[in-house]
Structure 1
Amino acid sequence: MNLDYDPFSPEFRRDPYSVYEELRRSAPVYWAERSKTWVVSRYDDVAGILKDTRRFSSDAMATVLTGSTRPQPGASMPAGSPRPSLVTSDPPVHTGLRNILNRGFTPRQISAWKPAVERAVSESIDSIRAARRFDVIAQLAIPVPVIVIAQVLGVEPERYPDFKRWATVITVGMNGSKRHLGFVGSGAAAASAEMSEYLRGTIARRTAEDGHDLISVLVRASEGEVLTPDEAIIFANLLLFAGTETTANLIGNAAYALLTHPEVLARVHAAPDLIPATIEETLRWDPPVHYLFRRATEPVEIAGIAIPKDAIVTVLLGSANRDETAFGSDAAVFNIDRKNQVPHIAFGFGIRFCLGAALARMEATTSLQQLVPVLASARRVTEQLEFVDSFQFRGLASLEMEWRC
């Protein structure tokens, strides 16, 4: 294979899918020399790795993205140390965390957030309708998830811009253009520390009060095992990072998919009940997260290729979701009528399935319900696409439009 693919190379950001196709066909398990990772691109292999938590550890999500050091085997954590993040831990630690966090994401809890989602979307659409030219990303896709997550956490409205700023700096530093500077040099560490300091005060207040926001639910001792204050800060950081960037990309990617498929946009405009199917096909066809990392805990073999112990494996969600062996010969086609024989894995797989998937779907569905009539009555201003500053996340940085005269 002549392609010199690397997960952190900017040259593949504009069109990764043709590269993924070549990887699946020619090198389904590919050694990326520059980043020193094994890249896995086929659906069955990716799903198998995500499901196998014994042989593939999620601690690589911390070591690769932040440059931190993996604890040595057998090393014990100091007494009172917080458990690691949900996305960097493995069972049984992951199981205990998930059991606590599930309490904050019950169907009843998510339904209680719906009015906040609807209000945030309506205010964003009002700002769009009031302007001759508007940006779907800046005025809807970005603010809605930030406002919703901030409200879910019980954050004061005046701090919403800070949340977006922190998330952007952390994203660029961990998997964007400043990654080469390191977690500290890129400013990501400082942004994370600033956010954590703010959240520490918020969590202290929530612990003392009888509130109904997410943090109150997770730190309230009367409801069973709880997160410690430090663990709540770690989770809030994750929720901000994952819950805003990915949902913003999902909304923007869905809008762009409809604009580039006008016949589908016309159908969805005439029949809004097709919006959920549009969201699911967007998640498969152009997902907001394109890859995750795992560490092989023992020597393993994938598709006939030997992977040594402690090797880092990059699992390409964006490639797996377009694998022809899983989704048919038309896997590269955006088709909201698709009847998948297997589930897409945009939200992960097995015990790693995204905790906030239902909230993200609700935000995206509510956004499209009000955005589709706008898309049907407006046109894009520029053809040039600008993507978010991230190798791991995929989404548009802007989508400027104007009303048709």
Structure 2
Amino acid sequence: MTETTQEAETIEETGTQETGTTPELFNPFLPGFDENPYEHYRTLRDTHPVQEHPMGFWFLTRHADIATLLRDARLSVADRNLAAGPMRDQYEKLIADAPVKLVTMMDSDPPDHTRLRSLVGKVFTPRSIAALEPMVTELVDESLDRIADAGSANLIDALAFPLPFAVITAMLGMPDTDPKQLLELTETLVVALEPVTDPDLMTAIVKAEVELSEMMREVIAWKRNNPADDLLTALIQADHNGDFLSNDELVAQVLLLYMAGHHTTVNLIGNGVTALLRHPEQLALLQSNPDLIGNAVEEFLRYDSPIHQTRRITLTPYQIGGREIPAGAMIIACLGAANRDERAFGADADALRLDRENARHHVSFSAGAHHCLGSALARVEGRVAISRLVTRFPKLALSGRVRWNGRINLRGASDVPISV
């Protein structure tokens, strides 16, 4: 029996034992969840919006609760604040066994988070992101040329996957690092953003983190002696009242950029185009109203979120959604469920509407102090890629079955066959 099967049976059995007619528990192993988790999310919102899960965490699904949670500065993101129990034990084992101990903004509380955000935020300015658009456009057009020559493609392989990786590598100003090795290692490391229990996979993740860390230390040392007009140089030189990022902090932020900044954009483009091609009336609307693309990207982010979960940890007993959650508890906020909540987006929340007035109220990039610092870059990449794709190919259509990547958190399309 696999660990995934064991987890699925544990969820099912525990739910049945607790109440007989218990409200449904979050279960990503349900048949069909991979292709469409939203029916399950709706059931959870309606019947059990703040649930204590038998796997040791609390699970939230309503937009109002999640928006409140994300903006609440009383909560932590640092696993060291977990109460005694299985999740705390797992964290301590992970820390004890880890040969590399890197801390990113995603895992930091104030004052550490405030300091890191201040330093890194000096680089991710609206002006610096806007300056990247010509490069993004050139990369997109090169991909579209290849698609045009072939007449058909898997959108993920041809555009959605290579684009953000190329953008990140170029904006960092990476030297002649082996791109294949870099890609393979980051692809292994990104699995750490999923619920992982398989020992072999955890070993592979740790090994990839060690190799990537060593690679990035060499790159940073080289860049200190060869500064240029690029993101990595800017991070090295970022100065806040005489304070600079340490080598470990630089490595951690670069790895975070590859981990979180790559696949969120892959999913934005892949999921967005899939939704568009499954709604031909919306495709026609966008092709006839190209200025709608900005709001369309927000609707794509809402309709099929590129990232489905984020977490917070309570430091004191915490009230939300009519429930009291004890101190030291892990709360998982289901962003994908919140984005389809009819209480926030109306009775047609499950419909794709590119002209939706409040589409930007989605929580796909989190909110509050941990709002995604790279959200502006993802929006530029999504806007340029999708607008140029539908403009270049007026007969764009799906040519086969869309397949999904099987991930719970970074859920996205893995195969989107298109004809042009």
- Do the two structures share a fold, i.e. TM-score over 0.5? yes
Question: Displacement, 1:2?
Answer: 4.4
1:331 maps onto 2:354 in alignment:
no
- Between the aligned residues of both structures, percent identity stands at 34
2:324 paired residue number: 306
Question: In terms of mean alpha carbon deviation, does 95-104 or 293-302 score higher?
Answer: 293-302
Which amino acid in 2 is paired with 1:195? Answer: L
1:391 maps onto 2:408 in alignment:
yes
CA contact under 8 A between 1:147 and 1:160: conserved in structure 2?
A: no
Query: Structure 1: any 5+ residue segments left out of the alignment?
Result: 73-80
Question: In structure 1, how many angstroms separate the alpha carbons of the residues matched to 2:81 and 2:175?
Answer: 29
CA contact under 8 A between 2:119 and 2:238: conserved in structure 1?
A: no
Which amino acid in 2 is paired with 1:282? Answer: F
2:19 paired residue number: none
2:47 paired residue number: 26
Deviation track 1:313-353 (CA, whole Å, cap 9, x = no partner) reads 11011111111111112111111111119721111111211
Q: What value does the CA root-mean-square deviation take over the aligned residues?
A: 2.7
CA contact under 8 A between 1:41 and 1:316: conserved in structure 2?
A: yes
Question: Displacement, 1:14?
Answer: 2.0
Change (3 A) 1:358 1:174: closer
1:90 paired residue number: 109
SS where residue 292 of structure 1 aligns? strand
Change (3 A) 1:155 1:341: closer
Question: In structure 2, how many angstroms separate the alpha carbons of the residues matched to 1:221 and 1:268?
Answer: 40
Question: Displacement, 1:379?
Answer: 2.7
Which amino acid in 1 is paired with 2:223? Answer: R
Change (3 A) 1:6 1:294: farther
CA contact under 8 A between 1:66 and 1:174: conserved in structure 2?
A: no
Which amino acid in 2 is paired with 1:309? Answer: A
Question: Displacement, 1:53?
Answer: 2.4
1:136 paired residue number: 155
Question: In structure 1, how many angstroms separate the alpha carbons of the residues matched to 2:194 and 2:47?
Answer: 26
2:78 paired residue number: 59
2:228 paired residue number: 211
CA contact under 8 A between 2:299 and 2:359: conserved in structure 1?
A: no
Match of 1:347 among 359, 365, 386: 365
CA contact under 8 A between 2:52 and 2:58: conserved in structure 1?
A: yes
Question: In structure 2, how many angstroms separate the alpha carbons of the residues matched to 1:162 and 1:19?
Answer: 38
CA contact under 8 A between 1:324 and 1:330: conserved in structure 2?
A: yes
2:284 paired residue number: 266
Question: In structure 1, how many angstroms separate the alpha carbons of the residues matched to 2:376 and 2:237?
Answer: 23
TM-score computed with the length of structure 2 as normaliser: 0.86
1:254 paired residue number: 272
Change (3 A) 1:314 1:269: same
Query: Structure 2: any 5+ residue segments left out of the alignment?
Result: 1-21
Question: In structure 2, how many angstroms separate the alpha carbons of the residues matched to 1:98 and 1:362?
Answer: 21
CA contact under 8 A between 2:58 and 2:329: conserved in structure 1?
A: yes
Deviation track 1:332-375 (CA, whole Å, cap 9, x = no partner) reads 11111111197211111112111001111001111012211355
Change (3 A) 1:162 1:8: farther
Question: In structure 1, how many angstroms separate the alpha carbons of the residues matched to 2:245 and 2:101?
Answer: 9
Question: In structure 1, how many angstroms separate the alpha carbons of the residues matched to 2:317 and 2:103?
Answer: 25
Question: Displacement, 1:17?
Answer: 0.8
TM-score computed with the length of structure 1 as normaliser: 0.89
Question: In structure 1, how many angstroms separate the alpha carbons of the residues matched to 2:395 and 2:133?
Answer: 27
Match of 2:62 among 35, 42, 51: 42
